[in-house]
Amino acid sequence: MRILTRGGFDWTARFPAIASAAAALGPATFILDGEAVMLDDMGRSDFGLLQGSLGGRTGKQPAGTALMFAFDLMYLDGHDLRKLEFAARRHILEDLLDEATGAIRLSEEINEDPERLIEHACALGLEGIIGKHRDRPYRPGKTGDWIKIKCVQRESFAILGYELSSAMPDGFGSLLLGALRGGEYVYVGSVGTGFKHQQARALRQQLDKLKTNKPVIRFKEKARIATAPALIAEIDFRGWTSDKKLRHASFKGLRDPEDAGAVYSLDVGEP
């Protein structure tokens, strides 16, 4: 039984409950596609809870109460299912997980008007909804076979530095964020909410080790300290300003360095 990240790293030891639940589905051999989550008191997935259960950035402690929501099936008992249309794969997945309990759950499929569905999802405080083309095969990458409709936009940005705070001298006032454009970093604004004091102090210690005299972006303000772009932050935001800065940004956590995912990329022609 192996649990692999999208980057190909083996995280089986970090999700023991999911591994045990998968083993209990035997004697079938299969490859599931899904997402590991932690749920809050309202039953909503929470990235911060998942990160904390793993021990934070670079943490390797097991997230014993993490769940996996399975949403696709790529292989079953010697049969490569990727060429089948999604509707057929979904039917087989439902049969496989028919009696599954515990840490592996079948993601719910709802055939409703998407505008009404996203309205209810946002009202419930969910991140959004996923739409999949029922007649398409399983193909990796951004093919248009599936779409994500978000209530709040969430992307990964590089931390390029921080702004000092007189209110919390051993922490910071905000983090300075960068996206990629044509392979180079551009400044896209700051984030000053979403941190607990203890979390901000710990992050300040990490950032101070990354101070550099050759920053990718030079800040003129003396209160802004530049760092090497080694840390990747998961950020919720409500959109973009006219000069391509984040609106109403909120810090959700750091991505693990082994599976940080792509830093958000701006189109080359954008300001």
Reduce the secondary structure of 189-220 to three states and give it as a string: EEECCCCCHHHHHHHHHHHHCCECCCCCCCCC
Compute the radius of gyration of the chain from its Cα atoms. 21
What domains lie within the chain, and their CATH numbers?
12-107 (3.30.470.30), 154-259 (2.40.50.140)
pLDDT in tens, 167-218: 888 999 999 999 998 889 999 999 999 988 888 999 999 999 999 989 999 8
Alpha-carbon distance of 178 to 224, in angstroms, equals 14
pTM of the complete model: 0.65
**pLDDT computed for residue 271 by the predictor:** 47
Binned at pLDDT 50, 70 and 90, residue 142 comes out as: confident
Supply φ then ψ for residue 178, to 5 degrees. -135, 150
| 260 has pLDDT over 70 | no
Write out 239-253 in H/E/C secondary structure: CECCCCCECCCEEEE
| 268 has pLDDT over 70 | no
Alpha-carbon distance of 96 to 73, in angstroms, equals 9
**Are β-strands 153-163 and 174-181 bridged in parallel, bridged antiparallel, or unpaired?**
antiparallel
**Are β-strands 153-163 and 232-237 bridged in parallel, bridged antiparallel, or unpaired?**
antiparallel
